């Protein structure tokens, strides 16, 4: 008897759950999706053509020039860093020489 009541209650809950649909296609109809979107876009100005937009060829050329400039800047930075390291080594040698001279 308890088993029959349990099965009947389970079946009743299962059938009750089937009473409503959660299918997204039924909820997303034009009235609930497109109309609010259209209303939201009603006050947006129309797009305009940007006369200053670069063509693909111009963008590629600009990128090449930029890469060349970046490589040149990197080369100059490396040369400056090497000169700074040389100066630091010379300063260290001079400091060591000065300490040696003072120790005598």
Assess contact for 71 and 78: CB atoms under 8 A. no
- The values of phi and psi at residue 23, to 5°, are -70, 120
Indicate the domain borders of the chain. 55-104
Mean pLDDT of each 10-residue bin along the chain, 104 residues long: 68 63 59 69 81 83 82 95 96 93 84
Assess contact for 62 and 54: CB atoms under 8 A. yes
Sequence length of the chain is 104
Q: pTM to 2 decimals?
A: 0.38
Half-sphere CA count of 62, side-chain side, radius 13 A: 7
Planar angle of CA 88, 94, 97, nearest 5 degrees: 145
pLDDT reported for residue 71: 92
pLDDT reported for residue 98: 92
pLDDT reported for residue 20: 59
pLDDT reported for residue 58: 85
């Amino acid at each position: 008897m308890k088993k029959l009541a349990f099965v009947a209650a389970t079946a009743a809950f299962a059938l009750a759950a089937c009473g409503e649909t959660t299918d997204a296609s039924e909820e997303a109809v034009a009235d609930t999706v497109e109309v609010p979107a259209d209303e939201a876009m009603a006050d947006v100005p129309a797009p305009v053509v940007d006369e200053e937009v670069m063509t693909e060829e111009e963008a590629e050329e600009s990128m090449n020039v930029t890469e060349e400039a970046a490589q040149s800047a990197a080369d100059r930075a490396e040369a400056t860093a090497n000169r700074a390291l040389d100066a630091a080594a010379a300063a260290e040698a001079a400091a060591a020489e000065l300490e040696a001279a003072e120790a005598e």
